[in-house]
Amino acid sequence: MRGFAAHPAMRVSGSMAVPGDKSISHRALMLSGIAEGVSEVNGFLASEDCLASLAAMRALGVRIERPSEDRVVIHGVGMRGLQGAGGPLDMGNAGTAMRLFTGLLSAQQFDSQLIGDASLMQRPMERVAKPLREMGADVRTRNGTPPVDIGGSRSLHGIDYRMPIASAQVKSAILLAALYASEPTTITAPAASRDHSERMLKSCGVKLISDGLRITVHPPQRLSSQNITVPGDFSSAAFFIVAGLLAAPPQGLLIQNVGLNPTRTGLLEILRRMGGQIEILNARECGAEPVADLRISASRLHGVRVSKSLVSLAIDELPVLFIAAACAQGETWVSGAEELRVKESDRIAAMSAGLTALGVAHTALPDGMRIEGRELGSAFTSGEIDSFGDHRIAMAFAIASLRAAGAIEIRDVANVATSFPGFVPLAQSVGLAIRESIA
């Protein structure tokens, strides 16, 4: 099994850029595949999750070229041009792919089956199946989890759906199905979640009206192709934002070309409230998405209370926030984050196990975590961590090594490639003492 050996490093400095955004890369493949004409995507994230989406689109009859690692050219087949895959579509570890494809495929003329790896086969799918069935789709799960069986040839109708959870995956699955419905569909969310689907659909010419937490999509005749430049993934940058803050002063880190969509950047607000010095430089638009460079200065952090309103804007960054909290003076308390329990692992349980192994005083809550931080000296002991096969747990504890008294060994890290290929060499290039090990 592959692992990381991470040693305390005093220096984190320099300039870097992280790979392309995972959420945008998935959506670029799907929407370009059903658009009319050729779309070129630059900055595509060539991670295992996005490559699962790419393979699925190819299996559905879309010609996709890859002139280079991060450049894809998609020959759209139009809204009615997808063809049955003739076998199960394997989504690997990618929850986003499985949920969005469930929406897209529920509107097609052929049957489909979606499967995934051991972790994905345990994840809840009724959250998308239920609203899609309300639209007239034939979507079946096995006791709420995959395989997801989708019967084709249904006519879908528009719905007015009130989402019980703030989930961009659920919202996007409904939006994809709604493109094919006989009437407009309205979705009302309990809180904001990432809006990449809405932005990209508008760029494809779809009429979509947003009014606070309510969006209405009008079924289009066609989607236009477009060239998409994918910004750096804020969720990948998050590990290095925290690394830059935890470095010994007066060092700092420049992270270039980071997507700063406001529905993704809750972590910036939380870290700034903790005393983190993060400057936004060169703010610009990259197609439909805001982008900037971030200058991170080593900072002294203090604990804060993070309430539910910020949680959905920082959901994937909470594991690394817990690492920052362990290095902050006083208590940090995150609540309203019960969704963490159904991610690639139960992230509350996985982080709690790791924090215990590294001697951090904390309480795991049903919906979050209370962490008693230690701002001066080593916040973590040395120790062994199980990532539970979850990329973000593995990378979060790799960052913890900056403030550890000794080596941190992290087991089961192959999944880092699902979202962040090249994490180790990039981390090394800015000073972290991490290397891969095989146990």
Which residues participate in catalysis according to the annotation?
316
- Candidates 123, 154, 194, 362; binder of ligand S3P (CB under 6 A) is 194
Pick the closer one to ligand S3P by CB: 316 or 412: 316
Alpha helices in 36-158 (DSSP H): 48-59, 95-105, 126-134
- Is 386:411 a contact under the CB 8 Å cutoff? yes
Compare residues 167 and 265 and give the one whose CB is closer to ligand S3P.
167
State the nearest-atom distance from the C-beta of 31 to ligand S3P, in Å. Answer: 13
In one-letter notation, the amino acid at residue 74 is: I
Number of residues that bind ligand S3P (CB under 6 A): 11
Which one, 343 or 403, has the nearer CB to ligand S3P?
343
Phi and psi for 168 in degrees, rounded to 5? Answer: -70, -30
**What 8-state DSSP symbol labels residue 221?**
S
Closest CB 169 distance from ligand S3P, rounded Å:
3
Considering Cα of 231, then 11, then 419, then 127, what sign does the dihedral take?
negative
Q: Which CB sits closer to ligand S3P, 193 or 265?
A: 193
Q: Site residues for ligand S3P, window 303-342 (CB under 6 A)?
A: 315-316, 339
What is the number of residues in the chain? 439
Contact residue for ligand S3P among 47, 96, 119, 225 (CB under 6 A):
96
Residue with Cβ nearer ligand S3P (23 or 141) = 23
Measured distance between the N- and C-terminal CA atoms of the chain, rounded to whole angstroms: 6
Whether 282 contacts 361, CB under 8 Å: no
State phi, psi for 354 to the nearest 5 degrees: -70, -40
Kindly state the smallest distance separating residue 367's Cβ from ligand S3P, in Å: 14
Distance CA 22, CA 428 (A): 22
Instruction: For residues 277 and 242, give the distance between their C-alpha atoms in angstroms, rounded to a whole number.
Output: 11
Please tell me the number of Cα atoms within 13 Å of 199 on its side-chain side: 20
172 lies in the site for ligand S3P, by CB under 6 A: yes
Tokens of 91: 């989504």
Least distance in Å: CB of 435 to ligand S3P? Answer: 27
In DSSP terms, 2 is beta-bridged to: 438
Residue 23 binds to ligand S3P (criterion: CB under 6 A): yes
Of 100 and 427, CB closest to ligand S3P: 100
Residue from 93, 119, 167, 345 in contact with ligand S3P (CB under 6 A): 167
Stretch that binds ligand S3P, among 66-74, 76-84, 164-172, 358-366 (CB under 6 A): 164-172
CB 419 to ligand S3P: min, Å: 8
Residues that bind ligand S3P in the complex, under the rule CB under 6 A: 23, 96, 167-169, 172, 193-194, 315-316, 339
